[in-house]
Chain A
Amino acid sequence: MSAHPGHGGQGGHPGPAVIVTGLRVEMAHGGGDIVDEVSFSIAPGEVLGLAGESGSGKTTVGLALLGHARRGARVTGGSVRVGAIDVLSLTDRELREVRGRIISYVPQDPAAALNPALRVGTQLREVLRAHRACASAREASERIVEMLREVALPAEPAFIRRYPHELSGGQQQRIALAMAFACRPRLVVLDEPTTGLDVTTQAHVLATVRKLAASHQVAALYISHDLAVIAGLAQRLAVMYAGRIVEVGAAAELLAAAAHPYTRRLVAAIPRLTGQEPLTGIPGRAPAPGDRPPGCAFAPRCELAAAECRTAMPALAVVGAAHLARCPRAAAGGAVTTGPAASRMAGLAAPAGTAPVLSAERIRAGYRDVTIVKGVSLAIARGECLALVGESGSGKTTFARAIAGLHPPASGRVLLDGQPLAATARRRPAEARRRMQYVFQNPYGSLNPRRTVRQIVGQPLRVLGGGTRQAADRRVAEVLEQVSLPPAIARCYPDQLSGGERQRVAIARALVSAPAVLICDEVTSALDVSVQAAIVELLTRLRADLGLAILFITHNLPLVGSIADRVAVMAHGQVIEVGATRTVLRHPSAPYTRQLIASAPALGPAGRAIPAWPGRGQPPAPAP
């Protein structure tokens, strides 16, 4: 493979800054290929988005551009040319020379990339010194001030003397950006640099990336699992699946008219601010390296797969101007449509006027001297889904834990079916513990690794009593079926399951006692978009089938439209706006809500204006 799609609107430049041809990375001990037949090019000043879900090989590609393979992996074919340099043929010593100066890297977690024992100024100076970018100490100091200005950080001496832990996540990531762009490299590889950040902070970091790449004519490879983020940033987009690029083209065109079935389903899985169309996930699981089927790796999950798809790997074929896709049906111009969207939203309107099943009154909670939740009152009707939206640090999780009896509030009370509940779960009657269940954010932490799925899901039955073991096992099997898991999974341990499967197990554990209220705390934030869509689909279905009331906590505003009847927006420990989902999303009344909606990455043409915070990466305090 050596196809290099052209560059729309890149006239005037001498040619691509980066050319990757036929890149292949294998597991060191013959475990099969991790990445194969990856070819692309990036023009100076261009941002190429590399999208894909967990395990698709996108980080492996990013690291290969730096001439690096992770432990247990080996680059076995292809070439990476940055300018005149053939990266893969360099010796270790030459690579050290090139990294940071010609090719630099921004990792996912800035906290892990910065040395916690060194002041940020020292670390910035180190980059300049390592590559002899500055002649004198005075010049280096001037460059540091300039670098900080470029990434919109205060360049004052007090800031330069800070340690990484004294900065917010967004500030840390901007320091990492400053370091990456410090020596004016030809290529910057950004590996999900905004994944851990709030939408507003993320919007600002993205704007900084785009500005830096354009103004210094740096080619940037932006790796992300989040198509919406890439859509607002990258001019072109490459989508990876199971180690291969399945589609590449101009970002706007690719999102509006995806040619490959996988891309289409991925786009359909993204929640949107506008409209309440239900999300659809992708059935099945992406194949692991070494376990990939012959032919198209997506064929087992593709409803359009033909016999030829299962035998021969389709080649990247032209489907439009500078638009390639690895799908014979797309190349033939056949209509590629995604599966039917379930119309489960019908009949889910909030039952107005009914008595609330769960209500919280003036909850205040915090840690020692710090009050995090400052008098929040909310009520959820039977069968209603209320979304609680806010950025990290807004107090939404503390509020949810106070309701669940995991974090005793300083004042205020929780009522279930009109009955006040004790502050800690242990003191609540078994019936209250049965009727209200909690699903945790991270399915990698909420399941005991030493227990089988059957033991985990059956635990509430054992604790809350009732029934024989046989009855419990039957109930577990029933609930596993409700969350669309195969019965055989009951014998598995959590580390044998994928993230989406684990979260289904966690939901099954919450459902096993037939609750009336489900508290879902960021249940999709640790998952890939297509898995997120499947989980939202599942919750919507369960709600309709079981008449569950759901408190759906999230920082993901677009997701809200797909699931909730009402939205409460929380900031700085207070609810600043409550209303019907459609009203809040379309006509927000609080300025903070407007800001939040404007910052949310959405699918749209590249170059969409990203509003900049006037401040320094901290959301402004909302008017009470």
Chain B
Amino acid sequence: MSGTGLPGPAWLPAAGQARGAGALRAALRLRRTRIGLALLALLTALAVLGPHVAPHSPAAFIARPDSGPSALAPLGTDYLGQDVLSRFLSGGGAILATAFAAALGGVIAGVALGLIAAYARGALDALVMRILDVILAFPPIMLALVAVATTGPSTWILITAVAITTAPRVARVTRGAAQPVVVRDFVAAAEALGLPRWRIVISEVLPSTLGPVLVEATLRLTYAIGLIASLAFLGLAANPNGANWGTMIQQNQTALAVQPWGVVLPITAIALLTIGTGLIGDGIARAFAGLDRGREPG
């Protein structure tokens, strides 16, 4: 109401487009987002195309165990005599696909639970959030270990277990972002029109919570990759003998001094992958924060 002389939203030049889309476009203009996307694209391409360009079958024994680089095996062989390069090229798919699926499942479930809790308020809110608190009380790796150890490692068990550890964190963030939105009058306006509750939640509340949810989703993807790789490192991959970056680190760590490639390559790949997703999330967060301040992100 006061006589503000500062540029307010009323004459922002960025007008004329949905704010969510505007924020994503602003995020794309940030260097960190571009680097993150490049890293993610590079490693995804490696994981997808790798098996097709690998010189050997990842399971073939081609030379003496732990031998150094040679014409046959450019980066040497691992502890069983398999080609390190071929196993590296074939080992990304399992981690990436599982992590993507687990993060996606966890985010969808978490967003749904968070929105329901925020919109319902009262007893249902308390019930949902307390149940999620119980899940949150367990370290994710332990929860996943218990699940996989009791039922045996299969891809679906892995995905489900990681998704379950992901959902509560997403739900908390979504609920927090939705709480100020559900009390706004435009939600009441939709209620006065008699719109069904699920449509109010999806079409009125969800769009205004997308910023923090997107950031949280990239963060959860980062953690899912780390978790899946850790489980593989502990021997709990869906296929314990298959090529897998996490498994490779564990199998070749004893020969680190003689044959470093078997460990360094998968570690570098996992690190770049998580740095990439982390940078993307950071870029999105900055773009939304910039929009909320009413100016272009810098």
Contact = CB atoms under 8 A, between A and B. Distances in A.
**Would you list the 9 A-B pairs with minimal beta carbon distance, nearest first?**
A34-B5, A446-B185, A58-B3, A59-B2, A495-B9, A440-B185, A450-B207, A448-B186, A60-B5
Given A70-B5, A291-B11, A493-B18, A430 B185 contact: no
Interface of A: 25, 27, 31, 34-35, 52-61, 70-73, 108, 191-192, 195, 223, 225, 240, 243, 288-289, 291, 401, 404-406, 425-426, 428, 430, 433, 437-438, 440-442, 445-450, 456, 459-460, 463-464, 491-493, 495-498, 509, 526, 528
Contacts of A456: 186
B6 A72 contact: yes
Contacts of B204: 448
B209 to A, nearest CB: 10
A288 B10 contact: yes
6 contacts: A31-B7, A401-B188, A430-B194, A448-B204, A463-B195, A493-B18
Contact of B193 (A191, A450, A460, A528): A460
A73 B6 CA distance: 7
Contacts of B6: 27, 34, 70-73
Contact of A243 (B5, B16, B194): B5
B53 interface: no
B191 A426 contact: yes
A433 B18 CA distance: 29
Contacts of B190: 459, 463
B2 A192 contact: yes
Contacts of B297: none
A437 B189 CA distance: 9
B2 A446 contact: no
Contact of B186 (A58, A291, A446, A496): A446
B179 interface: no
Interface in B1-49: 1-12, 15-16, 18-20
A440 B189 contact: yes
User: Which of A27, A53, A463 is the most central at the interface, judged by chain B CB atoms within 10 Å of its CB?
Assistant: A463
A108 B1 contact: yes
Given A288-B11, A442-B185, A448-B204, A426 B2 contact: no
Contacts of B188: 401, 406, 438, 440, 446
Nearest to B2: A59
B15 A58 contact: no
Contacts of B5: 25, 27, 34-35, 55, 57, 59-60, 70, 73, 243, 289
Nearest to A432: B194
Given A58-B3, A72-B6, 13 more contacts: A52-B3, A55-B3, A57-B5, A401-B188, A406-B188, A430-B194, A433-B192, A440-B189, A445-B184, A448-B204, A449-B19, A492-B15, A493-B19
A195 B194 CA distance: 34
B125 to A, nearest CB: 15
Contacts of B197: 426
B2 A438 contact: no
Contacts of A448: 186, 204, 207-208
A56 B1 CA distance: 10
B196 interface: yes
A195 B1 CA distance: 9
Interface of B: 1-12, 15-16, 18-20, 184-186, 188-197, 204, 207-208
Contacts of B196: 426
A9 B103 CA distance: 76
A316 B145 CA distance: 80
B11 A445 contact: no
B1 to A, nearest CB: 6
A407 to B, nearest CB: 9
A241 B48 CA distance: 64
A272 B197 CA distance: 43
Given A425-B193, A463-B193, A509-B189, A495 B208 contact: no
Interface centre among A61, A437, A446 (most CB of B within 10 A): A446
A497 B10 contact: yes
Nearest to B295: A72
Contacts of B11: 288, 291
A191 B2 CA distance: 8
A528 B1 CA distance: 8
Contacts of B208: 448-450
From A291, A401, A449, name the one whose CB has the most chain B CB atoms within 10 angstroms: A449
Contacts of A438: 188-189, 192
Given A426-B196, A442-B185, A495 B10 contact: yes
A445 B1 CA distance: 15
A338 to B, nearest CB: 23
Contacts of B207: 448, 450
A288 B8 CA distance: 10
Contacts of B7: 27, 31, 72, 288-289
A463 to B, nearest CB: 5
A401 B188 CA distance: 9
B107 to A, nearest CB: 20
Contacts of A35: 5
B103 to A, nearest CB: 25
A426 B194 contact: yes
Contacts of A498: 10
B20 A450 contact: yes
A120 to B, nearest CB: 25
Nearest to A495: B9
A382 B8 CA distance: 42
A58 B197 CA distance: 44
A278 B158 CA distance: 71
A216 B204 CA distance: 54
A451 B128 CA distance: 30
Contacts of B3: 52-61, 223, 240
Contact of A495 (B1, B15, B189, B191): B15
Contacts of B192: 404-406, 425, 433, 437-438
A239 to B, nearest CB: 12
Contact of A441 (B185, B193, B195): B185
Contacts of A442: 185
B185 to A, nearest CB: 4
Most buried by B among A35, A288, A442: A288
Given A55-B4, A59-B2, A425 B191 contact: yes
Contacts of B18: 450, 493
A270 B6 CA distance: 27
A55 B190 CA distance: 31
Contacts of A447: 186
A529 to B, nearest CB: 11
A192 B2 CA distance: 7
A105 B177 CA distance: 34
B197 to A, nearest CB: 8
